[in-house]
Amino acid sequence: MTALQQHEIKNDQPVVRLKRVTRQFGARMALVDVTLDLYPGLTGLLGPNGAGKTTLLHLLAGLASPTSGGVRWLNGESRRSAKLDNRIAFVMDGDTLPRLETPLQFVSGLLRCAGCTAHDAETRAISMLQRLGLASQMHARLATLSRGQRQRVKLAQGFALPASLLLLDEPLNALDPVWRLEVGALMQEAVQAGASVVISSHILQEVEQLSSQLVLLFKGRLVAAGSLHEIHDLLRNRANALRVRCDQPRALGRELLDRAAVTQLKIVDGELLTHAEDIVSLYRVLPAAIVAAKVAVSHVSTDGDDLISLFQALSAEVR
């Protein structure tokens, strides 16, 4: 076979489409009625343990079939289509590498299976192992490597293949900050080459920084999906408290009580903490209240408008 070439995808066409997908294991529903389009770019797949993230990744990779619903790749291809060969790369979670092989044997062997010539497979493997700081370990048995080094070996086999769809299940596990940055750079390079990169992780802040799209799962259900801007709008709508640091918090509190449906108001460490059923109403009246109270404001923030708060609220809703 000839060396692999990077596949081009138009950015306005979905790489994968899921329509009303359900995946059931016996009596347990791992995914429930999920409809989702994934486009070129970096998508963060977020959710607590048991949310269905790994099951969704297995479906996206074609390693599992939906109990009901359909999955289509690259303009309508089914998973059995030969057109999908070498176009999907999957880095799974867990430490299951063959201990007696070397990193070079492992990565180049998988590239051979993906269609590379022996020379191209070795060249690609060496280049990616060096990029991930494993030049001096590439001929050592995997059993002798640290957990972080084995994690980088797994990532090397994923990034060495110029796939159109790159699936990364907990790729930042066991990596120190330096290698997290390098893996983030590799993700961005794959996106710039036209790939759809899906990263599943519990590290919310880092995924939020890396991703242009977010998909949030809870107990098998898709509860939110969209751009960072759209998700942040959802977060703002779920915020339930406004914090204002100013020189006269009591005066500002009186003005807010006159202008909005405030449910609770208190002063904590010199900050005015105001709760309302409709947090947007507080946003709208705050400037006028500040002017009327003649206060000097040094800081304004909201509670409940971050991903962790959203996870907690959604988890409570689906229990």
The per-residue pLDDT for range 98-128, each reduced to its tens digit, is: 999 999 999 999 999 888 899 999 999 999 9
Confidence class of residue 318 from pLDDT cuts 50, 70 and 90? low
Tell me if 7 is assigned to some domain.
no
| DSSP E strand boundaries for 174-307 | 196-201, 213-218, 221-227, 241-246, 262-268, 271-276, 297-303
The CATH number for 259's domain is 3.30.70.920
Distance CA 144, CA 77 (A): 42
pLDDT greater than 80 at residue 80: no
- What value, to the nearest 5°, has the Cα angle with vertex 216 and ends 174 and 165? 65
pLDDT greater than 60 at residue 187: yes
pLDDT greater than 50 at residue 274: yes
The CATH number for 94's domain is 3.40.50.300
Confidence class of residue 6 from pLDDT cuts 50, 70 and 90? very low
* Same domain assignment for residues 78 and 174: yes
Q: What are phi and psi of 82, to 5 degrees?
A: -65, -20
Among 277, 284, 274, 278, which residue's Cα sits nearest to residue 254?
A: 274
* Same domain assignment for residues 49 and 78: yes
Distance CA 172, CA 182 (A): 10
* Same domain assignment for residues 139 and 52: yes
* Same domain assignment for residues 198 and 272: no
Q: Which residue has the tokens 């204002």?
A: 244
Which domain, by its residues, includes 107? 16-226
Among 47, 153, 161, which residue's Cα sits nearest to residue 96?
A: 153
Q: Give how many domains the chain has, as a whole number.
A: 2
Tell me if 219 is assigned to some domain.
yes
* Same domain assignment for residues 113 and 222: yes
What's the rounded mean pLDDT across residues 38-42?
Answer: 93
* Same domain assignment for residues 86 and 190: yes
Tell me if 131 is assigned to some domain.
yes
* Same domain assignment for residues 178 and 279: no
- pTM comes to 0.76
pLDDT of residue 4: 39
Tell me if 127 is assigned to some domain.
yes
Confidence class of residue 310 from pLDDT cuts 50, 70 and 90? low
Q: What are phi and psi of 146, to 5 degrees?
A: -75, 170
Q: Which of 163, 193, 226 represents a domain boundary (last residue)?
A: 226
Distance CA 280, CA 304 (A): 13
pLDDT greater than 60 at residue 315: no
Tell me if 207 is assigned to some domain.
yes
Tell me if 308 is assigned to some domain.
no
Q: What is the DSSP string of 43-74?
A: EEEE--TTSSHHHHHHHHHTSS--SEEEEEET
216: which 2 tokens? 């949030």
* Same domain assignment for residues 267 and 207: no
3-class DSSP state of 147? helix
* Same domain assignment for residues 255 and 154: no
* Same domain assignment for residues 169 and 281: no
Distance CA 297, CA 264 (A): 20
Q: Which of 226, 260, 280 represents a domain boundary (last residue)?
A: 226
Task: Classify residue 93 as exposed, middle or buried by CB count within 10 Å of its CB (0-12, 13-18, 19+).
Answer: middle
* Same domain assignment for residues 80 and 115: yes
pLDDT greater than 60 at residue 154: yes
Tell me if 311 is assigned to some domain.
no
179: which 2 tokens? 């290698």
Residue with the bigger pLDDT between 275 and 307: it is: 275
Q: Which of 182, 197, 226 represents a domain boundary (last residue)?
A: 226
Contact 24, 34 (CB under 8 A): no
Tell me if 66 is assigned to some domain.
yes
Mean predicted lDDT score pLDDT of the chain: 86
* Same domain assignment for residues 128 and 99: yes
